[in-house]
Amino acid sequence: MEAYISFCVGGFAAFDKNLKIIDYERFKDDEIHLKIIQNLNDEILEEEINIINRIANNHSTINIESKKRISNYKTEFGSLDNLEIKINITNIGGEHLRGNMGKVLLYMGFESKERIRKLIVDNFNKVARLKMKESSQEEDKLLIQSINAIDEIDEAISKLVERIREWYAIYFPEIEVVNKNEAYVKLIADVGDREKIIESHLKEHGIDIDVSSGADIEIEDLEMIKGFGKSIKSLQESRKAIEKYVDIKMDKIAPNLKNLLGSSLGAKLISHVGSMKKLAFYPSGTIQILGAEKALFRHLKTGEDPPKHGIIYQHPDVRTSKWWIRGKISRVLALKISLSVRKDYFNGKLDEKIKEDYTEKVEKIKKENPFPKKTNKKKKNKRKKHEPKNKKIKRRGRKTKECVI
């Protein structure tokens, strides 16, 4: 005989093939929200074990509505002879339960429909609060915010430096020869006055100027530019502090990924996906093209060459490699990223062999492929975008023709 077990807000209910309740296991009122979270985390609950043990005596097959693995149940109930457990995402018992939730909960001993509604709302509110708290406590969320902050600061600094260069050039155009933005901003923020800069500071940069051709400005004008320079300098210092913070965080939560990619690139991968957990479950082929989604969809739509790399192109081994081996190195790097992230997520200990093995494979690829391979295959003419292979064209006064493109 077959039985069907399904989970609901009140507990577990078991049905026979005629969808009659044959048994149930009710949760305690003050533990309902905790049981819901345990079930969402794919844990086998004590109540579930109890109800299966009870109905196993009279039923040879038990269909459980669950997303858990069958191996988890075999570990718990492997000792029960002649019992077959089947796992389904949905079964007829669960569908019947959801369609008659009020009646089933009343049968399980809940007081009234009004009480049931209040119980459901209160407990799911508790679940939402606990899940939000759990999510906010994940350290990779702090890492994601940090790396995003660095990107936004970089964008802001780039625009502000461009502005101060144009502004200060009115007063001292010769200073434009200082190419490094950080040094340029520091001269304005710390000194400001062009005569003082000419006297001492420009010699540090190998520049010898006696007189400036810039316009003379008032003291309040110079003070305003100098204050603006201090603001930019403060942003640059904040960026350095956040960069150190990212380095510390990556060393703590993703040591293998940091060892393989570096702090910045590793954090960008985690940020792009959304969490360490998601990245850990991604296949290496997906990791290889993360950040190249537009190119991938263009390949699927128009038949263009598929992308060989995405965010990982920023890695020196990929970026500086020859074009004919770039795809091979990207593939090896993606495989090692996948292994590193899983080690970090499930173990958390640094494994130096991952980086060593990756370096050996990259060197082997470079030795085996010193030159691009010659090919006699002619490239096929690519179809134009949005044009199907066979297209019928209708024109006025002419018969329909079939154009093969």
Give per-residue pLDDT as tens, 258-294: 999 999 999 999 999 988 889 999 999 999 999 988 8
| Residue-level pLDDT at 165 | 93
Tokens for 138?
A: 């994940």
Q: Is the pLDDT of residue 153 over 90?
A: yes
Say if CB 260 and CB 317 are below 8 A apart.
no
Distance CA 103, CA 100 (A): 6
To the nearest whole number, what is the mean pLDDT of the chain? 84
State whether residue 24 is helix, strand or coil. Answer: strand
If pLDDT is split at 50, 70 and 90, which confidence band does 206 have?
Answer: low
Burial-class residue 185 by CB neighbours within 10 Å (0-12, 13-18, 19+). buried
Q: Which of 164, 51, 56 is nearest to 108 (CA)?
A: 51
Statement: residue 90 has pLDDT above 60: yes
**pLDDT number for residue 402:** 41
Q: What is the pLDDT of residue 375?
A: 63
Average the pLDDT over 349-355 and give the result.
Answer: 92
Quote the radius of gyration of the chain (alpha carbons, Å): 33
The more confidently predicted of residues 197 and 360 is 360
Length of the chain: 405
Domains assigned to the chain: 2-136 (3.30.420.220), 140-249 (1.10.287.4070), 254-368 (1.10.246.90)
Sign of the torsion angle spanned by Cα atoms 232, 237, 240, 246: negative
**Is the pLDDT reported for residue 401 higher than 60?**
no
- Model confidence at 376, pLDDT cuts 50, 70, 90, reads low
Answer yes or no: are the C-beta atoms of 319 and 228 closer than 8 Å: no
